[in-house]
Structure formats: C-alpha cells, structure tokens
Chains A and B, each alone.
Chain A
Amino acid sequence: MRKVHLSLASEYDNIDLVDSVTEACLRFAGFDETLTEHMTLAIREAAANAIKHGNRQQPEKIAEVVFEIDDETITVHIRDQGEGFEVEEVPDPLAPENILKGAGRGIFLMRQLMDEVSFAFDGGTHVTMRKERPVAGDQDEAGEEE
C-alpha cells in the first residue's frame, strides 16, 4: 500500500495544497480526468469542513489528510481537532427550502462523488472516503465511447 500523509495548519490557503496532492495521488492511481475532478472536489469539501467548521480556522489546530492507495481502492482520511457534529442533523441541500442555502451541500457532494463516505468522532471529526480504482481496460473503453 502507498500512503501519503498531509498535516496542515487550519488556513484556507492550504486547501489548494490538498487539491494538488489529491490530483497527484489520483493520477498515480489511474483515475481519468473526470473522476479526478469529481474526487478532488469531494476531498476538498472534507478538508474545507475540517478547517472551517472543525478547527474554526485556528492555525494551531491541525487538519490531517491521509491517502491510502492499494491495488483496488483509494481511501482518504480527513481528521480535524474540532468538537464534531451530528451528521443526521445536517440539512438536506436538495430540499426546496434549502436550495439557495449553503448548509449540507459539501457533505452531499462527498456522498455523490465517492463510493463510500463515513463519519466518526474521536477527539475530532474523522471522515473516511473510499473509491474503487479503475481497471485500466474500463477507462480505455470509456475513452473510445467518447
């Protein structure tokens, strides 16, 4: 298994760094451009939540992003040092009354764009996201269809 570990001060500027490392990891894992864009957004949303809502932009608090790449999947862990939250209480961003509001859209995107997303709370929020790596032949065939 390949493993990449980022330990970030909780500043917005570091989210672009997460994007760059994410794109490198996904390219290494064989994801195509579209999937890379989708997954980069999902991981970005989790990192932004960790920095904004979890660590409340306190630079001394650390947000961790860990990529684990094995033969079949990529797993991404995002941890903060915040107080956690109730996942069930996050608003549904697709409810008509919420369409123009902000809350819940980041978690919604994570769930739409990754295969699995789970939340745990252990001295902070720990988000785990997983996506199956593409089989090389699948991407070649997809490319031919386009």
Chain B
Amino acid sequence: MNVSTRTREGVTVVDLEGKITIGRGDVALRDAVNAAIDDGSRAVVLNFAKVKSMDSSGMAELGAAYRRMDDLGGTVALCSVPANVTEILRMTQIITVFDVYPDEDEAVAAMSSG
C-alpha cells in the first residue's frame, strides 16, 4: 500500500494505492490521516482511485478517521471509489456516514467551498 498526501485549495488529498488491509495498509491510512490532522487540516479527501481492495481492518481505520476528524469539527470524504470496494463498503454500511464524490475535482470543490 502506497500513500501520498498533497493539498488542493485548502483540502488535504490523500492518494491511496493498493490494499487497505490488516498490518500495513490500515496503519498507513491511520498515519496519513493523523499526519493531516497534526498539520492542522480539517478537510481530508481520501482518493480511492488506485485502491484494489479493503478488509475489515481497513474499514475500522476508515471509521476511526471519521470519528477523529468529526471530534475536531472537520470532515473526511471519499472520492473515486472503485466498484468492487464500493460494494463491500455498502455491504457493511460504513459508506453511509461519508460524503462520497465521483472524482477528486468534485470532492475538492465541495469541501473547499464548505
């Protein structure tokens, strides 16, 4: 799992690539969101375009990221989620708590104007 972070219009974009799974991917997701929070970001978009799969540990970190940011009055949103990952996120219903955008441009536009 590779993670990189950049900023667009005041929104932190976290590019995720590979498997968000137990042991590495889930930790990488946690570290990326924590680093964004520590840097003062309160608007984070997780770009799933290159995510291949996700397991329950990855979903647990997704939920934890939402809770941490929500406690600080911030927002974590998702964009470009592949169909196979969307299916699993819907099955477990965790996707229902997130704003989900079809692509990064829409996510950044919505979050930077909010």
Residues from chain B with Cβ under 8 Å of A13 in the complex: 23
Residues from chain A with Cβ under 8 Å of B91 in the complex: 109, 112
Judging by beta carbons under 8 Å apart, are B56 and A15 in contact?
no
Cα distance, A37 to B66, chains bound together (Å): 26
- B53 in contact (CB, < 8 A): yes
Judging by beta carbons under 8 Å apart, are B21 and A108 in contact?
no
Size band of the interface chain A makes with B: 20 to 34
Q: Is the interface of B mostly helix, strand, loop or mixed?
A: helix
- A9 in contact (CB, < 8 A): no
Number of interface residues of B (CB under 8 A): 22
Residues from chain A with Cβ under 8 Å of B55 in the complex: 41, 44-45, 48, 106
Residue-by-residue, is B88-101 near A (CB-CB < 8 Å gives 1, otherwise 0)? 10011110110000
- B57 in contact (CB, < 8 A): yes
Q: Which residues of B contact A (CB under 8 A)?
A: 21-24, 53, 55-57, 59-60, 63-64, 66-67, 84, 88, 91-94, 96-97
Given A41-B55, A100-B63, A102-B60, 16 additional A-B pairs, CB 8 A: A12-B23, A15-B22, A15-B23, A34-B84, A41-B53, A44-B55, A45-B55, A45-B56, A48-B22, A94-B93, A99-B93, A100-B66, A101-B63, A102-B64, A109-B56, A109-B92
